[in-house]
């Protein structure tokens, strides 16, 4: 039993390290004097150059150009006691940004703690994270920030949280059935600020891999043809009395709930590697937007909504010059209960582009073109096109 436990803990530690770096070369590692623990430093950056055919304010008809760091991150991870107990900590700076997911408006440079949690790898089937952790509900959001198939994850798959898609709490997760079945169970603070109640937000998520397993705590947009994958997943989330329907009167307390289903597949062949992914997400605040003065958290891009995305990629079978070339495309359509003053607003977006991997995800160039269409156009929402070039560097 002791040998099996040692093997299980060692495998788990390997998966954790792999989840943090995947194809990226791991950063410097410092080994502790007892030869049982280690400390690793990583630097990760994504520099964007963007163009959009709209502007803001009186110059809304003019084009907008921008260059900024989408992500500029420094992280520490460490393990002690034979890789059983450890921590993860990351800080991030996002530069001045004008081009937002749906609008053009100035956004000041932001420096913040992104992740900060302790972890305990008790067994491959029972692993714990406690602290500031990522919301575990949606697959796309749990694809590693630097490992998306497209330029980035969908802008619309996030849930309403005040802490950049992270939340304070605890998550128990693990792998069962030869790592084909993975579960995640979490309790976090949720929409705590000025909420009607002090109840926690509860999340459960699971996936089952029919082919090669996906045992890491994070997902990857592509495995570069190294795995044959077909994974089906889903999750549910609930928070009692999360928002007020009328903030001025502090009444009409409404619950929050969300559910999602998803599928991911990747097939390596002699003609290249084919990747596909699709997901549906439904978030509800019990029609809170119909109140007299509804909580802003229940409206807008992360408020009450439902929609889906479908995306696919094709990795060429042979290297192109010094790197690998991959084409991708994504279509998504969402219905928002209330978006910028428009009730029952539909938004469609198409993304097409290419990744050029010079050293896997360590050094990656991405070009993407997207078109966004609103069912109802007004002063804040009008159809637009966006072109993006990204340089990604991981160390």
| Ordered structural domains, the chain, with CATH | 44-66+125-394 (2.40.160.10)
Q: Terminal CA-to-CA distance of the chain, rounded, Å?
A: 38
Residue-level pLDDT at 74 = 96
Q: How confident is the model at residue 30, as a pLDDT?
A: 86
Token pair for 160: 């309403």
Q: What is the pLDDT of residue 321?
A: 86
Separation of alpha carbons 86 and 222, rounded Å: 28
Quote the pLDDT of residue 20.
39
The length of the chain in residues reads 395
Sign of the alpha-carbon dihedral angle for 285, 287, 290, 292: negative
Distance CA 289, CA 304 (A): 8
Query: Average model confidence (pLDDT) for the chain?
Result: 88
* Phi-psi region at 59: left, alpha or beta (left = phi > 0; alpha = psi -120 to 50): alpha
Segment 279-299 mean pLDDT: 82
Query: In whole angstroms, what is the distance from residue 304 CA to residue 256 CA?
Result: 9
Please tell me the predicted confidence (pLDDT) of residue 19.
42
3-state helix, strand, coil in the chain (%, to 5): 10, 55, 35
Beta bridge partners of 355: 326, 366
342-389 pLDDT, tens digit per residue, is 999 999 999 999 999 999 999 999 999 999 999 999 878 889 999 999
Q: What is the DSSP annotation of 104-116? A: EEEE--EEEEEEE
Name the pLDDT band for 214 (thresholds 50, 70, 90): very high
For β-strands 29-31 and 85-94, DSSP reports them as unpaired
| pLDDT at site 95 | 77
Band the pLDDT of 13: cuts 50, 70, 90: very low
Among the residue ranges 49-58, 219-228, 286-295, the one predicted with the least confidence is 286-295
**For residues 125-140, average pLDDT:** 97
CA-closest candidate to residue 371, choices 340, 327, 331: 331
Tokens of 329: 């495309």
Average pLDDT over residues 30-52: 89
Q: What is the DSSP string of 40-61?
A: EEEEEEEEEEEEES--SGGGTT
Percent of the chain with pLDDT over 70: 88
Q: Quick one: how far is CA 332 from the chain centroid?
A: 16
Q: Is the pLDDT of residue 18 over 50?
A: no
pLDDT band at residue 16 using 50, 70 and 90 as cut-offs: very low
Distance of alpha carbon 25 from alpha carbon 369, whole angstroms: 29
Round to whole Å and give the CA distance between 276 and 203.
Answer: 26
The residues near 244 (Cβ < 8 Å, ≥ 6 apart) are 194, 196, 250, 251, 252, 253, 254, 288, 291, 293, 294, 295
* Model pLDDT, residue 8: 40
Mean pLDDT across the stretch 182-203?
88
Stronger pLDDT, 5 or 308, i.e. the higher one: 308
Helix, strand, or coil (residue 189): coil
On the question of pLDDT at 249 being above 60, the answer is: no
Whole-angstrom distance, CA of residue 294 vs CA of residue 239: 17
Q: What is the pLDDT of residue 96?
A: 85
Question: Per-residue pLDDT for 225 more than 70?
Answer: yes
User: Average pLDDT in the 223-239 region?
Assistant: 97
Q: Is the pLDDT at 243 greater than 90, yes or no?
A: no
Q: What does the pLDDT read at residue 58?
A: 53
pLDDT tens figures, 58-107: 556 678 999 999 999 999 999 987 789 999 999 998 878 889 899 898 87
Q: What is the pTM of this model?
A: 0.88
pLDDT, residue 182, reads 98
Band of pLDDT at residue 17, cut at 50, 70 and 90 = very low
* pLDDT tens digits, one per residue of 149-159: 999 998 999 99
d(CA 111, CA 93) in angstroms, rounded, equals 4
The phi-psi region of residue 199 (left if phi > 0; otherwise alpha if psi is between -120 and 50; otherwise beta) is beta
């Amino acid at each position: 039993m002791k040998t099996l436990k040692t093997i299980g803990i060692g495998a788990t530690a390997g998966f954790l390290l792999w989840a943090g770096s995947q194809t990226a070369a791991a950063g410097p590692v410092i080994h502790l004097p007892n030869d049982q623990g280690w400390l690793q430093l990583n630097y990760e950056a994504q520099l964007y150059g963007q163009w959009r055919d709209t502007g803001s304010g009186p110059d809304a008809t003019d084009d907008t150009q921008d260059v900024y760091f989408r992500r500029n991150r420094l992280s520490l991870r460490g393990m002690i006691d034979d890789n059983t107990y450890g921590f993860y900590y990351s800080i991030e700076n996002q530069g001045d940004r004008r081009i937002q997911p749906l609008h053009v408006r100035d956004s000041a440079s932001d420096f913040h703690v992104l992740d900060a949690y302790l972890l305990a790898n008790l067994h491959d089937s029972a692993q714990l994270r406690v602290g500031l952790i990522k919301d575990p509900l949606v697959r796309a959001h749990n694809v590693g920030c630097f490992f998306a198939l497209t330029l980035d994850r969908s802008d619309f798959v996030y849930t309403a949280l005040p802490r950049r898609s992270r939340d304070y709490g605890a998550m128990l997760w693990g792998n069962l059935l030869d790592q084909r079945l993975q579960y995640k169970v979490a309790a976090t603070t949720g929409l705590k600020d000025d909420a009607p109640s002090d109840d926690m937000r509860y999340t459960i998520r699971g996936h089952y891999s029919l082919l090669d397993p996906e045992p890491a705590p994070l997902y990857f947009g592509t495995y570069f043809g190294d795995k044959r994958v077909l994974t089906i997943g889903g999750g549910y989330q609930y928070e009692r009395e999360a928002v007020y329907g009328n903030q001025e009167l502090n009444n009409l307390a409404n619950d929050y709930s969300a559910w999602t289903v998803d599928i991911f597949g990747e097939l390596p062949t002699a003609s290249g590697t084919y990747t596909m992914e699709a997901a549906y997400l439904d978030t509800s605040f019990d029609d809170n937007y119909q109140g007299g003065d509804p909580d802003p958290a229940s409206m807008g891009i992360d408020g009450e909504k439902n929609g889906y995305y479908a995306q696919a990629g094709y990795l060429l079978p042979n290297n192109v010059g010094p790197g690998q070339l991959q084409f991708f495309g994504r279509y998504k359509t969402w219905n928002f209960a209330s978006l910028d003053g428009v009730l029952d607003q539909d938004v469609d977006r198409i993304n097409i582009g290419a990744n050029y991997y010079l050293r896997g995800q360590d050094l990656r160039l991405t070009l993407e073109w997207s078109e966004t269409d609103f069912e109802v156009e007004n002063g804040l929402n009008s159809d637009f096109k966006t072109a993006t070039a990204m340089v990604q560097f991981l160390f």
